[in-house]
Amino acid sequence: MAKEFDTSTRSVLENLGLKPVEPEGWLCCGSSPAHRVDHRLAVQLPLESLVLVEQQGLGEVVLPCAMCFNRFRSAAHELRLNPDLKESFDQELGYAYNDTVKISSMLDLIVDRVGMEAVKASVQRPLAGLKVACYYGCLLTRPPKVTGSTEAEYPMAMDRLIEALGGSPVAWDYKVACCGASLSLTQTEIVLEMSQKILANAAARGADVVAVACPMCHANLDGRQAQMQDLRPMPSLYFTQLMAVAQGHPEQAALERTMVDARPMLSVKGLI
């Protein structure tokens, strides 16, 4: 799952002069199911990875996945608010986490740290004529007291990134709506309804493609489309896939891995 996110992200970082370091022994963050069934486990799973990062002397961890970003930020927030919980984990893990690790999303890193001028300089094939609905979902910016977002209800960071790539972000209504996330397996009909509304609104606002930053969102918006009724197929790509295309490396975008093939549309527009 999300191999296309991994491949395109590594390519994008390389083209921006960055080399990612993957902490050895990292754990799954618990995703959305863990915090529903076991609050302590939902804190512990991200914490153990944060401990590994801190012990390796790294000052920042960057999470490509919006869900991972939210769970890491939530765990750190909870530990700051609950000293007793932190002390119990310090004893259990045999290490007192010092909260020295900055937690960022991949979108934060590229937009705020790398900067739009550097992104523009990396573009080899501008996304001219491509209308993009930038989908942040419900975890990348909310709740703002956890994520640190200053524009939680109508974020614009990905929109600014698409503009730097030469594309045209569209104004639309569902950019922070929930797709249903992990209910995809237990309440599929609800997810189909929620995800179809997102895709239909993107189409109604004139988008050619929906850009995402979360594997769970992508699984629902891309992988579930075949089960939706009366919906015109709408490609859903990770924002890093669009970046790889704009940087002149469509082979690193792993476009062949999506269920709704974006390549015909991108070819017609002369982008691949």
Nearest alpha carbon to residue 10 among 270, 272, 248, 241: 241
Residues 55 and 88 in one domain: yes
163 Cβ contact list (under 8 Å, min separation 6):
169
Beta-strand ranges (E) seen in 25-106 are 60-63, 102-105
pLDDT number for residue 1: 61
Task: Measure the CA–CA gap between 123 and 164, rounded to whole angstroms.
Answer: 8
Task: Measure the CA–CA gap between 3 and 16, rounded to whole angstroms.
Answer: 20
Residues 75 and 155 in one domain: no
- Mean pLDDT over all residues of the chain? 96
The model carries a pTM of 0.96
Q: What is the pLDDT of residues 80-95, one digit of tens each?
A: 999 999 999 999 999 9
Number of domains in the chain: 2
Is a pLDDT exceeding 90 seen at residue 55?
yes
Nearest alpha carbon to residue 215 among 185, 249, 182: 182
CATH number at residue 33: 1.20.1050.140
Residues 76 and 22 in one domain: yes
Instruction: Give the range of the structural domain holding residue 86, as residue numbers without chain letter.
Output: 3-105
Nearest alpha carbon to residue 250 among 236, 261, 263, 259: 263
CATH number at residue 152: 3.40.50.11810
Answer yes or no: is 110 within a domain.
Answer: no
- The sign of the torsion formed by the CA atoms of 20, 162, 102, 138 equals negative
Is a pLDDT exceeding 90 seen at residue 129?
yes
Residues 233 and 154 in one domain: yes
**Final residue of a structural domain among 87, 105, 123:** 105
Q: Which amino acid, 34?
A: A
Residues 145 and 18 in one domain: no
Cα-only R_g, the chain:
19
Residues 216 and 259 in one domain: yes
**Final residue of a structural domain among 53, 79, 105:** 105
pLDDT number for residue 252: 98
- The sign of the torsion formed by the CA atoms of 179, 181, 183, 185 equals positive
**Final residue of a structural domain among 86, 105, 124:** 105
